[in-house]
A and B are shown apart, each in its own frame.
Chain A
């Protein structure tokens, strides 16, 4: 239990703080002062912005320089991402490739895969989707039924992937498939394949509209879709371990408590310089939560930097962070002035409409609480 509660203090190193100013300036120069929504909403896919970031060396910052990476620390990447998210920058296009596909290839990919994909990702020109969930496999990921059957020169894939964000416009999808139909255990016999979303026969991508009206996530149907042998990531049958490591990158970052940040900013603008006592308390409560969460999240970045595997700590950050970002619009609507601008209302409504996804994506609240309970020795 002691490990789950120990979030050692981390002071961001000077080079990370120096980068903060650069990113802030870049955002101001590139995006100007116009109103911005939260980063992960519909308008967040912007290949031009991603390319501009790539030119700055801000994608694949922590990756080895031999592939064109920045060889920089997790702390610098942390600062870069939190600055972009807080500003509502359109980071959607390259986000998954930078956060988890690249690191996965670095850890498990072949040399040829690294040399082929990483420089393109780093340049902000190659975007990835996640192909994990299926119509009958959500939280119970080990139950996936999409199959890959070995054939001459590769694999033939059949099945359906679901909720794959950006698959309708990204280049590749790392797809979790069953390569062994009769494994020893349900966690065995899984593998990961890099599927070319733009140049594969037998592949259909259908956008699914969400309740907010966006069509961001997709159904991806494989019908005898051929994937070349050299697109297998890691060892056949090692998919479960690989997917688990990939999810670790997903859970503790600033995106887990900044999803509603623009509401906080715009509420402050509406309230103005002379808040009522109640408005001040609500704003202060948000700040107290955010500062504590950020502090915990940076501590987890420190654990990643020292090659630890902070599964429970990351789950705690996501649990607390998601609860907070769900709460922000709920608090804001009750203290916003009746005269609030339509700009504020737009930001608030966007967030209310997207809030149900906060506690589902990247592991549902219930799954994460189960992981924390395991850390407590309860299961």
Chain B
């Protein structure tokens, strides 16, 4: 990780600690746009981390800029930060300039037809609508949210508003981004974003669980002293470590011939860890963790939401599995150990 990224992560963490406390996440989940948080993120230039310097961005490669998403996961940031970060990088020099101002979200064509639910559509100014042309090339349209028709927004598991894109998608035009020349790559990048966010939220859930176990007393001692609790926290640690490594491996593979495989592994493995991890974190927290007052649910509800976004575990597992079957049994080990 380079020095610019390191400094950016440190300031981002300071910002989020102050500007994204429980009250802000609660209010956002109640439908109130977190204006101050968004203004501060913009002031620090974080949504422009991967936008070229020529366009007024920081010019970090995606592998570096995406490390911010781990913090977005840790602090349960109730904004389409991943979509804006990636979307502005995609707009780059090719897309319309006006799209670089304001909150942006992404409409991704769904494998089953139509579009995946669009995160935070009601709050966004711009929607980057992706469409696959007849020649397989991906066309991106930066459309003002007002020009599109959406279903009623629903809060989903996390309380982060999402809506279905119903109409208004331009039939022609748009631009192409060298960063996402195909729908597959765009889907992979978005899936990777969720894997990294899941890893961050899991890290936070583990820290909360360990702190709670060391503080909560029953039967005259901290529950951390009970082997049954220790064993559960050890299992949680394994899931967190696996999610972190899988997500990081996805970032490390960016722009390598192995990237598509690494992203499928990242989303499949982190998605699995999200479910297992949330379950243990709640069990350790007991009834306290089931209350709205405790902040654990800000992480766990996002774990449950994020594991489904941009392809759940089974989607990415099946993709990996089909590729293995196509290559055959004798190619399995070479495939698992391939470097290029």
Residues of A near any B CB (own CB < 8 A)? 1, 4-5, 7, 9, 11-12, 17, 20, 82, 86-87, 261, 264-266, 268-269, 271-275, 277, 279-285, 287-296, 299, 316, 319-320, 323, 366, 368-370, 372-373, 375-379
Contact = CB atoms under 8 A, between A and B. Distances in A.
Interface stretch (B33-41, B206-214, B288-296): B206-214
B219 interface: no
B241 interface: yes
Contacts of A86: 333
Contacts of A379: 224-225, 230
Contact of A373 (B234, B252, B317): B234
Contacts of B269: 288-289, 292
Contact of B328 (A273, A368, A369): A273
Contacts of B272: 285, 288
B234 A5 contact: no
B268 interface: yes
Given A7-B244, A320-B242, A280 B210 contact: no
Interface stretch (B50-58, B132-140, B318-326): B318-326
Contacts, number: 169
A11 B161 CA distance: 40
Interface string B204-233: 001100100110000000001101011101
A9 B249 CA distance: 7
Contact of B230 (A268, A284, A320, A370): A370
B325 A288 contact: no
A283 to B, nearest CB: 4
Contact of A372 (B238, B245, B336): B238
A283 B242 contact: no
5 contacts: A268-B329, A269-B329, A280-B318, A288-B264, A378-B210
Contacts of B229: 378
B203 A5 contact: yes
Contacts of A11: 339
A283 B268 contact: no
A265 B265 CA distance: 18
Interface in B298-340: 313-314, 316-322, 324-326, 328-329, 332-333, 336-337, 339
Given A281-B317, A287-B336, A295-B249, A265 B238 contact: no
A376 B210 contact: yes
A110 B325 CA distance: 53
Closest A-B pairs by Cβ, 9 of them:
A280-B321, A284-B320, A284-B317, A284-B321, A369-B234, A373-B230, A283-B321, A269-B329, A372-B234
Interface string B106-126: 000000000000000000000
B100 interface: no
Most buried by B among A273, A281, A299, A377: A281
A265 B206 CA distance: 35
B226 to A, nearest CB: 9
B233 A373 contact: yes
B191 interface: no
Contact of A268 (B207, B313, B332): B332
B240 A5 contact: yes
A377 B321 contact: no
